[in-house]
Chain A
Amino acid sequence: AQSVAQPEDQVNVAEGNPLTVKCTYSVSGNPYLFWYVQYPNRGLQFLLKYITGDNLVKGSYGFEAEFNKSQTSFHLKKPSALVSDSALYFCAVRAPGSGYSTLTFGKGTMLLVS
C-alpha cells in the first residue's frame, strides 16, 4: 500500500527567508509525486509534479521540489518566502505503472509566513 507522511503540522518562516515543507513517501517502484496548495475556503491548486528525469522539479509561484530516491523524500522548497505563500500544502503520491491507481494524500502542512 502506498502512503505519504508530512511530519510537520505547521511550518513558520519569516518573509524573505527560504522555506522547506517536508514530505516522505512509501510506494513500490519509482513514484509519481505531486504538491498541491490550498488557500482558505478554496480548493486544491496544483503546484508541481515529479514523473521522471531531473530530480529538481520547478513549479508555480517560484516553488520547487527535490526528489530523493534514497531518502524516499520529495521536499517542497522556495528560496524566499512571501506572506502570500501562507496556506495549507499537501504532498501526494501515485504508484507507477499502467492501469488504475489512486492518488494518496498526506495530511497537510500549514505554512505560516510572517
Chain B
Amino acid sequence: EAGVAQSPRYKIIEKRQSVAFWCNPISGHATLYWYQQILGQGPKLLIQFQNNGVVDDSQLPKDRFSAERLKGVDSTLKIQPAKLEDSAVYLCASSFRQDRSDTIYFGEGSWLTVV
C-alpha cells in the first residue's frame, strides 16, 4: 500500500517569497492533516480536513498560510509571504476516518528553510 506522498522534499526560499507544498494521502483516507514541526519540538497541527471540508484551522496563521483540498483527495499548503520563523518541516498525514482511535499516518515531510 502506498504511503502519504509529499513534494517537494526540500525547499530553500528567501523571506517574503512564496512556497507551495503538495500532498497525496493514502488511498481511501478521508481525513487529511498538515502539521508543522520546528526543530526540537513535536509536530503541531496547522489544519485538518475531513474530505474537502475544514475541520480545524485554529492554529493556521491565516494572514500568510492557506490550504485547500479540492475534490477531497490531494491537498496544497501555501505560505505567502514567508518569514524566517516558518523554517520547519511540513508534515502531511492522513487517517481513514476522523475517529479518535484511528492511526494517523505521516508522509516524509517537506523541509523548508527560509533565509
Contact = CB atoms under 8 A, between A and B. Distances in A.
Interface residues of B, number: 24
Interface residues of A, number: 27
B3 to A, nearest CB: 9
Contacts of B98: 100
Contacts of B107: 43
Given A36-B106, A100-B55, A100-B56, A44 B43 contact: yes
Contacts of B56: 100, 102
B59 to A, nearest CB: 9
A100 to B, nearest CB: 6
Given A41-B111, A42-B108, A100-B55, A107 B41 contact: yes
A84 to B, nearest CB: 18
Given A100-B56, A108-B42, A45 B106 contact: yes
Q: Which secondary structure dominates where chain A touches chain B?
A: loop
Interface of B: 4, 6, 40-45, 48, 55-56, 91, 93, 98, 100-101, 103-109, 111
Given A100-B98, A108-B40, A108-B42, 10 more contacts: A43-B106, A44-B43, A44-B91, A45-B106, A46-B104, A49-B101, A90-B42, A95-B100, A103-B45, A107-B40
